[in-house]
Amino acid sequence: MATFGRVFPPVVDLKGTELILDADADTTITADTDDQIDIKIAGADDFQITANTMSVLSGSTLNIDSGASIDVASGGTIDVVGDLTVGTVTADGDTSAGDSATIGYTAAEGLILTGQGSTNDITIKNDADADVITIATGGTDVEISTGNLVIGTSGKGIDFSATADSGGTMTSELLDDYEEGTFTPAYTFGGSSTGITYNANGQLGRYTKIGRVVICDIYLGMTDKGSESGNVVITGLPFTSVNHGLNTSAIVNIGSHTGGWDLSAEAHFTGDVGTGVVTIALRECVFSTDANPNAVTAAMATDDGQMYLSVTYEAT
């Protein structure tokens, strides 16, 4: 009985001879170096394979076509020594303590960045290679190394809701404003400023606003009080005071260097900021009586009257 089967060619030993694959002899495979395969395409060295490594050589590109992918098994890595340019990087696993620089993802935590360095665990830099945001090695504080934290939307800010609340009724734990600057205060006597003149630096006002709290320092120095009469009011506060149903929103502290005013005997200056206003109504408080403070009038002012005062009030 005859036996039929396939006839296999013997193993071909090229012994390092270059194997030409195309008609113009510029696409070849060769293994003239021990344990190394070199692949040329169009006369250029494009790929190199050794025992455990496949290399894409300089000037060549590994192209992953649309719909294709590279799958890295659990525990495997892709080690990129140079730059990696991709459309998007999608992570689908958690990071671990001790990871040098890892992007991860979990359904609960979302995007995860884990790093470990001798100075910082995470450093974000700008295009000038300057540190912008850093987290120190082993730390939990976020440091803005260069620049400022900018609140981009009015009414937003820093939320302190994680802190303990007071024994009263808490209405907000959001710090949503900070501002500092200058303003120009002025006197009115009976609602008019006619004839009032000031010395060269006689209308100085500085303010700091933290949340809704406004802190002002004021100096007013006259050279002529004019001829108007009536109650004395300081105008020009930088923010409108809150209207919370009380008679005033702040009591004013008048400085000890105030002079050139003829108050009643045993009286000292005080004042108040009304509700929904940008003014201070000046008053005098007489030590020897229990009466409410009286309005300061133009008749108590002199041409060289000066006043230092500070006020803290709540703005709208």
Which pLDDT tens digit goes with each residue over 191-204? 999 999 999 999 99
pTM, to two decimals: 0.74
The DSSP letter of residue 231 is B
Q: What is the pLDDT of residue 92?
A: 84
Q: How far is CA 290 from CA 20, 231, 284, 286, 294, in A?
A: 114, 21, 12, 8, 11
Q: What is the pLDDT of residue 120?
A: 95
And the tokens for 287?
Answer: 């030590």
Residues 6+ apart with CB under 8 A from 41: 26, 27
And the tokens for 93?
Answer: 């696993």
CA-to-CA distance for 311 and 78, rounded, in angstroms? 64
First to last CA, the chain: 110
Task: Write out pLDDT tens, residues 225-250.
Answer: 999 999 999 999 999 999 877 767 67
Give the CA diameter of the chain: 144
Mean pLDDT by 10 residues, the chain (316 residues): 64 82 91 90 92 88 84 78 81 87 91 93 94 94 92 93 86 93 98 96 97 94 96 97 77 76 86 92 83 90 93 91
Q: What is the pLDDT of residue 254?
A: 77
And the tokens for 222?
Answer: 């006259």
Q: What is the pLDDT of residue 124?
A: 94
Q: What is the pLDDT of residue 82?
A: 81
CA-to-CA distance for 197 and 221, rounded, in angstroms? 9
Give, in degrees to the nearest 5, the angle at Cα 76 between 75 and 81: 130
Q: What is the pLDDT of residue 97?
A: 87
CA-to-CA distance for 29 and 62, rounded, in angstroms? 18
> Residue 136: helix, strand or coil by DSSP?
strand
Q: Where are the domains of the chain?
A: 19-56, 101-144, 178-314
Pairs from 264-273 (Cβ < 8 Å, separation ≥ 24): 264/294, 269/296, 269/307, 269/309, 271/234, 271/309, 271/311, 272/247, 272/248, 273/237, 273/241, 273/248, 273/249, 273/311, 273/313
